[in-house]
Amino acid sequence: MKFLKLALLSFIVFSLLITAISFFIPSKIRLSKVVEINCADSLLMKEISNPENWKNWLPGIETAHYNYDNGKVNGYILNESKQQFLLLKIVRTNEVVSKFELGKKSIISGWKIIPVNKTNATGIQWYMNFELGWLPWEKFISLFYENIYGTQMQNGLGKLKLLLETNSGN
């Protein structure tokens, strides 16, 4: 009986400790990667603002089917049975915003053109905004997002750089 009480008390204390530590992990995080591409801003903007071009460089959607809105491609169907989509949301002068709809959750992702101090070069930032819940395991899992998403983002930017520098002759 003493062992059972000790086990229960230890479990409760450990759970409270984990919950307390999770309060120090922010509930909103942004993962961001940047690369410099030797091409014109307009060429880069043309590539990232057209969802049909995303298959050329965006990891994980090579075999995905297009999603249409009024007869125009506005993103991709990642998994129709699970209601998972990647959709174009906003195109601004120097930024394209998309949204991963993953059932009940969503992740805002975007590409932003940033100035660099070189002629004929453009910086591109790819970011993903995550809104975590208050549950401790959701926050602790976010500590691994750099390994999960960061590598894919860097690979995608590398493909985009290679594609645009090859096509622009640089």
What is the domain-level CATH number for residue 47? 3.30.530.20
* Total domains present in the chain: 1
The answer to whether position 21 is within a domain reads no
CA dihedral 161→162→168→170, nearest 10 degrees, is 100
Tens digit of pLDDT for each residue in 40-61? 888 999 999 999 999 999 998 8
The answer to whether position 126 is within a domain reads yes
Average pLDDT over residues 105-117: 90
Please tell me the predicted confidence (pLDDT) of residue 22: 76
The answer to whether position 17 is within a domain reads no
Burial label for 73, CB within 10 Å (0-12, 13-18, 19+), is middle
Closest CA to 108 of 50, 43, 46, 32: 32
The answer to whether position 63 is within a domain reads yes
The answer to whether position 8 is within a domain reads no
Banded model confidence at residue 169, pLDDT cuts 50, 70, 90: low
Please tell me the predicted confidence (pLDDT) of residue 6: 86
The answer to whether position 13 is within a domain reads no
The answer to whether position 14 is within a domain reads no
The answer to whether position 54 is within a domain reads yes
Query: Residue 168 pLDDT more than 70?
Result: no
Tens digit of pLDDT for each residue in 90-103? 999 999 999 999 88
pTM for this prediction: 0.83
User: Whole domain around residue 126: which residue ranges?
Assistant: 28-167
